[in-house]
Amino acid sequence: MKRRLNLPRLEVVYFLTDPARRIPEIVEGKADMECGSTTNTAERRQQVSFTGPHYLSGARYLVRSDSAISHLPDFQRKRLAGTRGTVELKAIERASKERLLYIDIVEVPDHAKAVEMVEAGEVDGFAMADVLLYGLRSNRPNPDKLKVVGKLLTIDPIAIMFNKDDLELKGIIDAEMKRLIHGREAHAIYEKWFMQPIPPRNVPLNMPMNYLLKDFWKYPSDQGPF
């Protein structure tokens, strides 16, 4: 943005939000853009706008390493945590109802609380985007005590979010995202953060780029695949 607008300096101010408040804070103008794990969906595009995805993720499940659970049906009549305000929470509620699994869905305020509940045995698993689960797992004191299991329940294009009225800012960021993708700088960034050891604990996530992201980056779009 500094380069494109020919600004001598550009101060960036960060503040924390949570899944339940992130969209209202953009709509209300408390932040210019949100750079996190927000999924670009048609429903959300009624309120806000997005760049093209910088990652395509999907909901899977974090369980204890000694758990016999390997896919969604194994949660039948068991306790499964989901974070308030996320598409994953809605997805497991819908899947439980449609498949008559009678899952005891536990709504939690944030991802960290859900992981703590899995470790403590208070819930049998935590449903969230796989990339977040791998990150949360790697930052625990004993990552080997947790594992990510199951097939993708959802396909979630994760993107930067803006106020719908801020077309100038969106245009600048859209152009920069396309430059990073077509110039393959985005691929180098992916390799650094998903395949190499990362601070502070220098533990790699070991997550090769999935075929969905490879295909979508061939023709990046801000509409997402859904």
pLDDT digits (tens, 9 = 90+) for 89-134: 999 999 999 999 999 999 999 999 999 999 999 999 999 988 889 9
Burial 125-154 (b: 16+ CB within 10 A, else e): bbbbbbbbbbbbbbebeeeeebbbbbeebb
Query: Taking phi first (over 0 means left), then psi (-120 to 50 degrees means alpha), and beta for anything else, what does residue 142 get?
Result: beta
In the listed set 102, 117, 149, which residue is the last one of a domain according to the structure? 149
Q: Is residue 143 part of a domain?
A: yes
The 3-state DSSP class for residue 89 equals helix
Q: Are 155 and 56 in contact (CB under 8 A)?
A: yes
**2 in a domain, yes or no?**
no
Cα 90 vs. chain centroid, distance in angstroms? 14
Burial of 217 (0-12, 13-18, 19+ CB in 10 A): buried
pLDDT tens digits, one per residue of 29-79: 999 999 988 888 888 999 999 998 888 888 999 999 999 999 999 999 999
What's the token pair of residue 135?
């990150």
Is the domain of 96 the same as that of 126?
Answer: yes
Query: Residues 120, 144: one domain?
Result: yes
- Per residue in 169-212, pLDDT (tens digit) is 999 999 999 999 999 999 999 999 999 998 878 888 878 888 88
pLDDT of residue 224: 57
* pLDDT value of position 225: 54
Angle between helices 111-120 and 130-138 (to 10 degrees): 70
Q: Are residue 129 and residue 194 in the same domain, yes or no? A: no
List Cβ neighbours of 86 (8 Å cut-off, separation of 6 or more): 19, 128
Residues 93, 67 share a domain:
yes
Specify the number of domains making up the chain. 2
Residue 212 belongs to domain spanning: 22-56+156-216
Quote the pLDDT of residue 209: 87
- Residue 162, domain member (yes or no): yes
SS3 147: strand
**224 lies in some domain:** no
Same domain, 170 and 131: no
The number of beta carbons lying within 10 Å of the beta carbon of residue 13 is 6
For position 226, what pLDDT does the model report? 52
The verdict on residue 121 lying in a domain is yes
| Same domain for 204 and 96 | no
- From 110, 131, 149, give the residue that closes a domain: 149
pLDDT tier, 155 (very low <50, low <70, confident <90, very high otherwise): confident
187: in domain: yes
Quick check: 223 pLDDT over 80?
A: no
**Distance in angstroms (rounded) separating the CA atoms of residues 25 and 55:** 22
Q: What is the CATH number of the domain that holds 96?
A: 3.40.190.10
Contact 82, 109 (CB under 8 A): no
Residue 5 included in any domain? no
What was the pLDDT predicted at 159? 92
Q: Domain ends where: 123, 149, 175? A: 149
pTM above 0.85, yes or no: no
Q: Which of 150 and 20 is assigned the larger pLDDT?
A: 150
Bridge partners of residue 157, in order along the sequence: 56
Give a yes or no: residue 14 inside a domain: no
